[in-house]
Amino acid sequence: MSKKTINPRLARNYHEATSEKSREVYRQWASTYDRELIEDFGYRAPDAAVECLLEYFPSRQIEILDMGCGTGLVGELLCDAGYKQIDGLDLSPEMILKAAEKGVYRQLGEADLSTSISLEPIYDAILCVGVFSHGSRQPFDLPKLFAGLKPGGVLIATVNGKGWHDIGWSTLLEKSSQENGFYVESLRDIPYLTGEGIPGKLLIAKPTP
């Protein structure tokens, strides 16, 4: 992994942060987020997640939750790939407004994965892209999403590779899986922020039968 100094626009997220601080970051970032992430930082995690979903559900006739949908980068790719039944949840009202402008979501709403969330088991797949990074509680927040899956459903999540290394995600994820009754079916290396030399991880997880 590159040792160069991380751009401060990214580094402000690379620590433990309260929900309020995160909301403030994204409130300020919403208007330029898409351009900066894609053009300046080479953000590739959405592409990897959608490619993975296509492997699992090539028929496209499924219901999807885009958790941490942000401005709708993942939703737009899903729609372009032929998926149409897409809901989105995010922490930031300003990011949700940007996502709504893309016109690809069936429903959008606010949700904070660091608190208790309520999900109905209506989704074939839940994608959680660009959410998990440097929060030590995040591996233990991840299993909250299984409540939204239908039987046989799958969670596809990405983890920032710098966060994966810095806080020991592998160990924390194993502990969380044992405590919360799920397993990681596959763990892959993916391009993440290619302009910053930061790789990523993509995990496919399911509740333990």
Kindly tell me if the per-residue pLDDT of 14 is higher than 60. Answer: no
Rounded Cα distance between 164 and 49, Å, is 17
Residue 9 lies in a domain: no
Kindly tell me if the per-residue pLDDT of 101 is higher than 60. Answer: yes
Residue 4 lies in a domain: no
Domain count, the chain: 1
Q: What angle do CA 129, 85, 130 make, to 5 degrees?
A: 5
Average pLDDT over residues 71-89: 97
- Boundaries of domain holding 183: 19-207
Residue 134 lies in a domain: yes
Q: How confident is the model at residue 33 (pLDDT cuts 50, 70, 90)?
A: confident
Residue 11 lies in a domain: no
Quick: pLDDT tens for 48-57.
999 999 999 9
Residue 7 lies in a domain: no
Rounded Cα distance between 85 and 62, Å, is 7
**Global pTM value:** 0.90
